[in-house]
Chains A and B, each alone.
Chain A
Amino acid sequence: MSEAASTAGLFDCRDAYAQTLLALAESDPRIVAVVNDSVGSSKLNGFRTRFPERLINVGIAEQTLVGVGAGLANGGKIPFVSGAACFLTARALEQIKADIAYSRANVKLCGISSGVAYGELGPTHHSIEDLAWLRPMANLTVIVPSDPWETAEAIKAAAALDGPVFVRISRMPTPALERATPRFEIGKAEILRTGHDVALIANGVMVHRALVAAEALARDGIEARVVNLSTLTPLDESAILEAAATGAIVTVEEHSVRGGLGGAVAEVVATRAPCPMRILGFPGFLPTGSAEWLMEHHGLTADGIAQAARGLLAGRG
């Protein structure tokens, strides 16, 4: 059993999304939800019951899903457009580019069931390229929350921000992280643990595993800094430079190793503070298997992260 599944109190971040959106809608009539036949998978049944006129279902039509979101924003609404991350991003990528990011439409795109949450359904349903597609888009804020609390904070912050946002929401059972002083701010990394030997930078459901890895490393006398880089755009470059100051960085993401969190960190490290790095993630199209199996198979576990850190430090001499 994995470390995540063995931890008491697991949560589905979609619940945090749906509850927060409903609460926001109670106090702000501009909030609307737009879905592509995904009321259930977005957990928006409660929203539909409470605000039926503000739940717009365009059917199985992702390009129109995103275009309608842009139109609703033009009409003064604050649309939360949610659909499976794999389809929302890939099928409507040009709409996200032209209608949302380039047009600066005040739309909140919520990619649900992201990463490998749909493990057994295969690579067509995995969303492990979405961050690489969206990260280069100017004007688009990209957030990958780590747990239910941060998901709720990200949704509130997205609603308050006047501009386009993508929030990547997992459906994997995820523990709530313990935070000494909880505070979420778009564009600010969260330092969950200080350390000077190596930095572990993670986001999404990998943050919990990075923390467990840091505890294991501490038992070996290696003090790891753990950084939750939940906002990929805009990027907290100072947090990355501080991480680079430890001399070694391991990035961990439930995404392809190309173009996601690791790529974002590497761009900063390579140009401003070169240091050895390991980028942990998925290599490409994946074999079938449950989400947990896929993550274990590809080393995206606390053990895998700790081993990568040890290897990096050994290689550094």
Chain B
Amino acid sequence: MSEASQRLENRAARVAERANWIRRSALKMTFDAGQGHPGGDLSAADILAALYFDILRHDPARPDAPDRDRFVMSKGHCTGAFYSVLAAAGFFPQAELSTYLQPLSRLNGHPSRAALPGVETSTGPLGHGLPVAVGIAIAGQIDAAGYRVFVLTGDGELQEGSCWEAAMTAGHRKLDNLTLIVDRNRLQQGALTEDTVALAPLADKWRAFGWDVVEVDGHDPAALLAALEHPGSRPLCVIAATIKGKGVSYMENQAGWHHGCPTPDQYAQALRELAA
């Protein structure tokens, strides 16, 4: 193995370890709170870990530093994973994760820009993140700033027209500092995306809108890192093939786990499987 590929392997191993921690943390938060969005938390864990523990330039001590890379969590319902990664990165104490969904907690069911450091914009309603990320990228372009802007959407979320409004503007303006990651787990709240309103051919759609497209295995940290670290001359869409509920056998590919809470026995089984 070459030195470069060995380095990538090491980085990927670190990301995988962090992703596993995010999964366990998100499930604990969901179990303790009695509700959450475990399916999407688990599908996005590797992507979030790759961003926060390898790709993003951020400083939790200066969450609004002008030169920081931005990450916009457009699929704002997946707060189990998002709050876990923010806490693990140091934006707020990890102990605070136990307040998830409790009265007066900063850890609302959907992230609040006003409440929590590290949240770039409040999300929850779908289709909001990409337009905001486009705006940040335009600001960076005007200033010739060096920061990059990343946004994570679900795939069902792309049924919102606002995503395609923003896609047109990003393509038109050749926002080379913008990277969209689509958590392509193929399930929306109630059914398969392709049975609801099909997104395919998804890569072709982004290319037609003037974007570069890379398709990767969203649970392969090395592939994610390779895709995320090399922006081109146009906005980049990384379509990450993922499994909703990834890592917990009874949740995998089950639409019913979009929103829900495991029983004590199910929770214990999930932790065993994630420890394996």
Q: Which residues of A contact B (CB under 8 A)?
A: 32, 53-54, 56, 58-59, 61, 63-64, 66-77, 79, 94-95, 98-99, 102-105, 139
Is A72 a contact partner of B136 (Cβ separation < 8 A)?
yes
Is B138 a contact partner of A102 (Cβ separation < 8 A)?
no
Q: Which residue of B lies closest to A81 (CB)?
A: B135
Is A58 a contact partner of B169 (Cβ separation < 8 A)?
yes
Contact partner of B134 (CB less than 8 A), chosen from A64, A73, A105, A139, is A64
Cβ of A54: which chain B residues have Cβ within 8 Å of it? 142
Contact partner of B139 (CB less than 8 A), chosen from A74, A95, A103, A105, is A74
Contact partner of A77 (CB less than 8 A), chosen from B120, B133, B142, is B142
Is A70 a contact partner of B121 (Cβ separation < 8 A)?
yes
CB neighbors of A among B105-125 (8 A)? 112-114, 120-125
Stretch of B95-103, B158-166, B184-192, B211-219 contacting A (4+ beta carbons < 8 Å): B158-166
Q: Which residues of B contact A (CB under 8 A)?
A: 66, 70, 112-114, 120-125, 127-128, 130-140, 142-143, 145, 161-162, 165-166, 168-169, 172
Is A103 a contact partner of B114 (Cβ separation < 8 A)?
yes
Main secondary structure of the interface of A (DSSP, over half): helix
Contact partner of A71 (CB less than 8 A), chosen from B124, B134, B145, B165, is B134
Cβ of B130: which chain A residues have Cβ within 8 Å of it? 67
Is A67 a contact partner of B136 (Cβ separation < 8 A)?
no
A64-B165, A104-B113 known; A72 vs B122 contact (CB < 8 Å): no
Contact partner of B128 (CB less than 8 A), chosen from A74, A76, A98, is A98
Contact partner of B132 (CB less than 8 A), chosen from A53, A58, A99, is A99
Is B121 a contact partner of A74 (Cβ separation < 8 A)?
yes
The 7 closest A-B pairs by CB, nearest first: A71-B135, A75-B139, A67-B131, A68-B135, A61-B165, A103-B113, A63-B162
Given contact pairs A98-B122, A98-B123, enumerate 19 new A-B contacts (beta carbons under 8 Å).
Answer: A53-B142, A58-B165, A66-B131, A67-B132, A67-B162, A67-B166, A68-B169, A70-B121, A71-B133, A71-B134, A71-B138, A74-B70, A74-B132, A75-B145, A94-B125, A99-B121, A99-B122, A102-B113, A103-B114
